[in-house]
Chain A
């Protein structure tokens, strides 16, 4: 394993111009790590805000089967996110679970692309990068559906959940939110939207990497380190989703 990650020796004249590698990680990888730790702070700010507001509001008291939507208490996530495309009925958190698996799987194909890059196997890098792009695009599409459903409500209003007055819950936006306190929808759009923006830029970066691999740029260069750097970013996006999934949907 260590032989694969060994970095070619730095010429003497490069020592003071960024050639030496103090943490045995190349300049690009180190800077990617520093960017990711700063991005961690940004996402943490959103999650800290969520945690603080969530626990400052009233929680629902009572049996889960008697739960009703009201703006006076925080909604239970598995009552809000329980729809699947093309199907009617209640499937609590199924769709967000499918999205989680898609993102974990695209993380695996990314790490397989990095592994193929270590071996200099251009065809394999191309194959796994394509799968990663497909996974990322599928995730974005799923999130678009989830947003659309959350904003517009179910197609058949007779199947919609109702509040205590018997009025159907027809969806939420930044101004109007019948599911719970106004902050609920605001935080949903902000946190999943900020994460979705990251996935979107990740897909763009993956397409660029795939293009460069396919045109043989990295083979000429002699190494596939760009795949590793973008891979770090892509895994980070997956990691953030693991946290969003837990704190927004499960807790």
Chain B
């Protein structure tokens, strides 16, 4: 497309859209969200449920970042530059959630 200047618009050929992978990703995201709603409706709150939701959220994040933001198809070093800081942040989130439980109960 770059080598086709705009003055020759009448002979510009636009290739057909290839949207199969996009709609597949959309379908996966919608199904995961629906399953989350079903879990909210049928499963009482527990540590297990929190873990299930956290896991499903990470799967959804994988599809959004990997496919929609195209990170899966970038070079390896860029992928790791994004993932490694994110892992540290996720660890901080888990650690402080755990510490929060002990904030007012130092002897528990």
Interface of A is mostly: helix
Tell me whether A243 and B53 are in contact (CB under 8 A): no
Q: Is A93 an interface residue (CB 8 A)?
A: yes
Tell me whether B96 and A48 are in contact (CB under 8 A): yes
Q: Is A186 an interface residue (CB 8 A)?
A: no
Cβ–Cβ < 8 Å partners of B49 in chain A: 251
Pick the contact of A52 from B2, B67, B85, B99 — CB < 8 Å? B99
Interface of B is mostly: helix
Q: Is A97 an interface residue (CB 8 A)?
A: yes
Tell me whether B97 and A246 are in contact (CB under 8 A): no
Q: Give the Cβ gap from A183 to chain B, nearest Cβ, in Å.
A: 11
Tell me whether A48 and B53 are in contact (CB under 8 A): no
Q: Is A187 an interface residue (CB 8 A)?
A: no
Cβ–Cβ < 8 Å partners of A107 in chain B: 64, 68
Cβ–Cβ < 8 Å partners of B97 in chain A: 51-52, 54-55
Cβ–Cβ < 8 Å partners of B41 in chain A: 92
Cβ–Cβ < 8 Å partners of B77 in chain A: 23
When A24-B75, A246-B53 are in contact, do A52 and B6 touch as well, CB less than 8 Å? no
Cβ–Cβ < 8 Å partners of B30 in chain A: 101, 104
Tell me whether A120 and B92 are in contact (CB under 8 A): no
Given contacts A93-B37, A115-B19, 6 further A-B contacts (CB under 8 A): A37-B86, A97-B37, A104-B26, A108-B25, A112-B22, A251-B49
